Amino acid sequence: MLYFSKLRIIFISLISLFFILFASSNLFKEESFFLNKKINLGLDLQGGSYLLLEIDNTPVIEQKLQNLSTTIRNYFKEKNIRINNLKLSNQKISFSVDEQFKQTILDVFNDENSDLNPYYQRFKSHQLDIVEKNGFFNVNYSKQGIIEIKTSSQDQALEIVRRRIDEIGTNEPNILKRGNDRILVELPGLDDPMRIKSLLGKTANLTFRFVSNNTEDSFGVENLKHEDSDEESLVSKRIILSGDNLLDAQPRMDDQTNETVVSFTLDRVGAKRFGKATSTGIGKQLAIVLDGKIISAPVIRDIIASGSGQISGGFTFQSATDLALLLRSGALPAPLNIIEERTVGPDLGQDSINAGIIALIIGFLLVIIFIFIKYKIFGLITNITLVINLFLLIGVLTIFEATLTLPGIAGIILTVGMAVDANVLIFERIKEELKNEKNNLIAFDSGYTKSRTAILDANITTLLAAIILFFMGSGPIKGFSLTLGIGIFTTLFSVYFIARLLTALYVSKNKEKKGLI
């Protein structure tokens, strides 16, 4: 029946006031204890940069297999088992053994309890597929192993990307996982992404190695280019120090040369290694290698036992600052490739806000005028309910500090249309009931009750579509589905509680009046 108890009326009023209060907090710049939440604007509304990064795990897999092949060689050498033709190709380790050792090797790989296998956990933790045929072995990562590597790389990369962006001081960045090999970076308010792209595109793998003139170096050598020229130097593969040994790195001006340099501090282990290397390498060039390129190759003049030093290389203060930032935040586990990027200027974002607001106002006014002309006093009730419905929707978004995008505004506009649609269904059904029922209270109650199924069916199917869009879509699609989904709940609440309450109050006072609608 069209009856609302006082307790129910109080409940509806409190719920409405609660969300209206939170919605109104977006109108004030000052924050208070109760009004400290606001809706965040997406990149398309306030401007900023959107980057989708993909992790290239190929070098990680290659490096892990390279380490594993060394482990295999050393382990079986200790056991006097000869490994023949050990090589790594196409992400697969292959080798052969004499027939007499075949079973022993299979036991090493497969027998968890073998006391001959101190490397068992190392082998098994890599989730390897091991195939043997006629004494020839192929070792490669299983699908599970590849997934574990990708997940681990993504977790490490996410943390390092977050550190690098936080160091720059970007306002409220949004950094999220996408799948198991992608990272989404949203940077509101940043309309020049070149520096960020440069920082995120560098792996920042730092090593200290001696320049070698001996091609027969026992550790092996490789030709590396200098970063500031096409000159190449022969560098030993022996790594004296890596970026893992750095405690801190800061840009500064060298007092003697008036040159911008990057000063660094090493941890205890790194300081000990550096001191030993400089004591035995006086007169040699020490190559400082970043991502496969030599950024500096100073000659060692004296022992450096203090655990600190500096990197010079013709830096500007900006490039020195960026290098120090990269070294402090650590090396990425794998290279990152930018596969999608978007940049929205603040002016364009403001234009989008203005266009969205104008579209909402025009649509809202047209709906209000039409409903009022069509249903008179009940049209006025519907219009009041529409306004409250908007406040409820914005209030819910505010409480969760949701991010509003341009498609989100479209979702709000669609919510207005759906709210009107529900009221039209109800009022048209009431008209049908009034033809056969003289009692206004019964006719109005029947109209609300009998139209409920159609309204619920329409809203539930729309809600299912919104849920699918939210979980299957990304970016702007999520914004649209979020506002649409929340709008369905606020619409049902406003129609069956607020509008029905106002209708009940009016009809109760005019229950004998003819032609109410």
Angle (CA) 330-336-339 rounded to 5° is 150
Listed range (108-112, 287-291, 491-495) with the worst mean pLDDT: 108-112
Higher pLDDT, 314 or 369: 369
Spatial neighbors of 280 by CB under 8 A, at least 6 apart, are none
Higher pLDDT, 167 or 462: 462
* Cβ-contact 337, 321 below 8 angstroms: no
Angle (CA) 326-277-322 rounded to 5° is 10
Q: Residues 495-503: what's their mean pLDDT?
A: 92
Instruction: Give pLDDT, residue 14.
Output: 93
Where do the domains of the chain lie, and which CATH numbers do they carry? 6-46+345-509 (1.20.1640.10), 49-55+146-201 (3.30.70.3220), 58-145 (3.90.1070), 206-338 (3.30.1360.200)
Query: Among 248-252, 295-299, 357-361, which range has the highest average pLDDT?
Result: 248-252
SS3 249: strand
pLDDT at 8 over 50: yes
Instruction: Give pLDDT, residue 416.
Output: 82
Rounded to whole angstroms, the Cα distance separating 415 from 39 reads: 18
Mean pLDDT of the chain: 83
Give me the numbers of helices (H) and strands (E) for the chain, helices first please.
15, 19
Listed range (36-40, 236-240, 425-429, 457-461) with the worst mean pLDDT: 36-40
Instruction: Give pLDDT, residue 497.
Output: 92
pTM: 0.64
How many Cα atoms within 13 Å fall on the side-chain side of residue 211?
Answer: 20
Instruction: Give pLDDT, residue 118.
Output: 41
Dihedral of the alpha carbons of 312, 313, 318, 319, in degrees to the nearest 10:
-120
Instruction: Give pLDDT, residue 347.
Output: 63
Rounded to whole angstroms, the Cα distance separating 485 from 467 reads: 7
Q: How far is CA 96 from the centre of its chain?
A: 45
How many Cα atoms within 13 Å fall on the side-chain side of residue 67?
Answer: 9
Rounded to whole angstroms, the Cα distance separating 490 from 482 reads: 12
* Cβ-contact 97, 137 below 8 angstroms: yes
Q: How far is CA 130 from the centre of its chain?
A: 36
pLDDT tens digit sequence for 440-475: 888 888 999 999 999 999 999 999 999 998 888 766
